[in-house]
Amino acid sequence: MIKRQQEQSTILKLEGVSRNFGGLQALTEVSYRVPEGIIQAVIGPNGAGKTTLFNCISGLIPVTSGRIFFRDTRIDNLPAHRIASLGISRTFQHVALFKNMTVLENVMVGRHVKSHSGFMACGFRLPFMRREERDIRDRAYEFLKFVGLEPEARKPAGSLPLGKQKILEIARALATEPTLLLLDEPAGGLNAAETEELGELIKRIKNLGITVMIVEHDMNLVMEYSDRILVLHFGHVLAEGTPSEVKNDEKVIEVYLGTTEAC
């Protein structure tokens, strides 16, 4: 019963969210609730507003109007670092790693968001900072182990193949210990086997109790792993529901049959 209530509680609420770029309406009055503990996919054709939605949730850009709540906290008026510290972490459509730093150091950067001394301050190497630095390193290893990248820990991030760089981005986002994780096209550029592994990783992340929102074009991944799907079209909510509900929605079929892409 308790579990049922937890599943039904809302982790993220969008109320009439709109975002314009000059005359272009990228999001129009988007209202939606994301239940806690699920894998929530956001799909839609190119330019539908999916990344803009993630950018608004994570505070990278402000909304033009509307409100966004993370649990009970209104976040649309907060800066990105405050939103991150509340427990929302994200990855980007185009890999955004520190390519010359090692795999481990990239995850440590994520960990430093949670530390007291900060990444630069550690340069002074006071005793408590050294201890904290060691803890950060140990925890970073744990996250690398969780995603299966521990053997690559000492390599420069830029030397990894794209698939592993994308997984590393996820490890770095996890290192901030989010309760809501936003993944923007994590399967972009991955082959079928890597995509399957990614799906299993996302499922394991959900099993940690983290709510995962995923913007994705790979329909196999979306249909197999997500619990609910939100479909955007020209910045509007076109449909939402379970994968089978969305797959059979006439509006969705109409939009996708008119395109050469799956989405």
Ligand X SMILES: Nc1ncnc2c1ncn2[C@@H]1O[C@H](COP(=O)(O)OP(=O)(O)OP(=O)(O)O)[C@@H](O)[C@H]1O
Q: Which residues bind ligand X (CB under 6 A)?
A: 21, 24, 26, 44, 46-52
- Residue with smaller CB distance to ligand X, 149 or 263: 263
Phi, psi angle pair for 44, to nearest 5°: 155, 160
- Residue with smaller CB distance to ligand X, 55 or 117: 55
CB of 109 to ligand X, least distance (A): 25
Closest residue by Cα to residue 246 from 259, 261, 233: 233
* Spatial separation of the C-alpha atoms in residues 248 and 53, rounded to whole Å: 24
CB of 91 to ligand X, least distance (A): 14
What are the tokens at 236? 């509007």
CB of 252 to ligand X, least distance (A): 15
- Residue with smaller CB distance to ligand X, 48 or 104: 48
**Residue 201 · residue 147 · CB < 8 Å:** yes
- Strands 24-35 and 39-43 turn out to be unpaired
CB of 70 to ligand X, least distance (A): 20
SS (H, E, C) 155-176: CEHHHCCHHHHHHHHHHHHHCC
- Residue with smaller CB distance to ligand X, 41 or 108: 41
CB of 138 to ligand X, least distance (A): 37
Contacts of 17 (CB under 8 A, 6+ apart): 27, 29, 30, 31, 53, 56, 63, 65, 66, 67, 68, 76
- Residue with smaller CB distance to ligand X, 61 or 86: 61
H/E stretch holding 202 reads helix 192-207
- Residue with smaller CB distance to ligand X, 21 or 98: 21
What are the tokens at 154? 């000492």
Q: Where are the beta strands (DSSP E) in the chain?
A: 10-21, 24-35, 39-43, 65-70, 73-74, 88-90, 180-184, 211-215, 228-233, 236-241
CB of 260 to ligand X, least distance (A): 14
- Residue with smaller CB distance to ligand X, 155 or 236: 236
CB of 27 to ligand X, least distance (A): 8
